[in-house]
Amino acid sequence: MSELRIVTLTASATEIVCALGAERNLVGISHECDYPEHILNRPRCTRTLIDPNLESSEIDEQVRQFSASGVSLYQVDESLLKSLRPNVIITQTQCEVCAVSPSDLEFLGSKEFDGSPLLLNLEMSHLSGLYDDILEVARAIRKESAAFELCAALRKRLERIRKRTYSFPKRSVVCIEWLDPIMISGNWMPELVECAGGRSLLNDAGGRSATISFQDIVAANPDVIVFLPCGFPLLRTLNEFERVVQLHDWESLPAFRRGTVYAADGNAYFNRPGPRLADSAEILAQILHPAVFDFPDIENAYRQITSDFHKMKQKQ
């Protein structure tokens, strides 16, 4: 049996491979892979054509321009990938904006690319798809036993939260995946909110993320609002909110006046369909029920945004 050589082209796939105990077989990763820390020295096989330092509205405009022109947002280093000699390459088909997709890897079928690596495309839209993806990766890298243990552990964590919050009043929640324009979270996020004892507004489980208006949020009048922009760590989210708060009268919302508006790390959690979705559910549970839950490992993953927001920023 040949040596297993894995290249992961999405951050979530990297986390799954490592959670299954196959990090020693991981020979290449994507430009977005940042966890766990001990794999950061692996060669990076991709890069983005989007400037990550732009404001959210400018990033959105660049994405729309690339999409309209039919040009991919990502480039794959074909020479590097060939030199790594992978026999398993993992990417995704869930979102062409979020990460490298199969259309970026058409060169794999060319004569210039030696070998015929297994190309695994993950496509998760519901929370149950997390277990499907883990098992699919495990079968490809011969880690089925570890996959059963990992899935059981993740299910146990989510079920513990669900049982604890079952009889609680269901606070209504709006999760915002992008700030300018405003985009509502979709896919597995409504299920995570439900698991944490909340009731997701403005989108259904499995539904795509969608652009909404500020007036949609006003009309929904959620009990809780969570800003968790895709690709933005917590500090970046706080900085971006400080800018876009001037675009709409966020402080007029009852949730803002009650102090139930939060910013969260949407890069490491929530938008990354891997094992840390269990952590994401714990973050939401702690946000919705702070008197009940206390998960110390995720304390730095979110912050409350209050009407005294600007003073809060000055203290950081």
Per-residue model confidence as pLDDT tens digits over 100-149: 777 777 766 555 566 688 999 998 989 999 999 999 999 999 999 999 99
The whole model's pTM is what? 0.92
**Residue 134 placed within a domain:** no
Please check whether residues 246 and 118 belong to one and the same domain: no
Burial (CB < 10 A; 0-12, 13-18, 19+), residue 290, is exposed
Rounded mean pLDDT, 7-21 = 97
Greatest Cα pair distance, the chain, in angstroms, is 64
**Residue 1 placed within a domain:** no
**Residue 279 placed within a domain:** yes
Please check whether residues 200 and 86 belong to one and the same domain: no
Please check whether residues 111 and 191 belong to one and the same domain: no
| CB neighbourhood size of 18 (10 A) | 20
The pLDDT tens digits of the residues spanning 238-288 come to: 999 988 888 999 989 999 999 999 999 999 999 999 999 999 999 999 999
Distant-in-sequence, close-in-space partners of 64: CB < 8 Å, separation ≥ 6: none
Tokens for 289, please give them: 């029920």
| Residue that terminates a domain, selected from 98, 123, 148 | 123
Whole-angstrom Cα distance, residue 114 to residue 60?
Answer: 37
Number of domains in the chain: 2
| Residue that terminates a domain, selected from 94, 123, 152 | 123
| CB neighbourhood size of 58 (10 A) | 13
Whole-angstrom Cα distance, residue 142 to residue 210?
Answer: 37
Nearest to 264, CA basis, from 290, 294, 300, 301: 301
pLDDT higher than threshold 90 for residue 30: yes
- Residues paired with 76 in a beta bridge: 46
Nearest to 76, CA basis, from 30, 118, 113: 30
The pLDDT tens digits of the residues spanning 190-232 come to: 999 999 999 999 988 778 889 999 999 999 999 999 999 999 9
Query: Is pLDDT larger for residue 2 or for residue 49?
Result: 49
Please check whether residues 216 and 81 belong to one and the same domain: no
Distant-in-sequence, close-in-space partners of 72: CB < 8 Å, separation ≥ 6: 49, 66, 96, 101, 103, 104
Whole-angstrom Cα distance, residue 107 to residue 234?
Answer: 37
Q: Which CATH number belongs to the domain containing residue 250 in this structure? A: 3.40.50.1980
**Banded model confidence at residue 49, pLDDT cuts 50, 70, 90:** confident
| Residue that terminates a domain, selected from 92, 123, 154 | 123
Please check whether residues 50 and 102 belong to one and the same domain: yes
Q: Which structural domain range is residue 28 located in?
A: 6-123
Please check whether residues 168 and 107 belong to one and the same domain: no
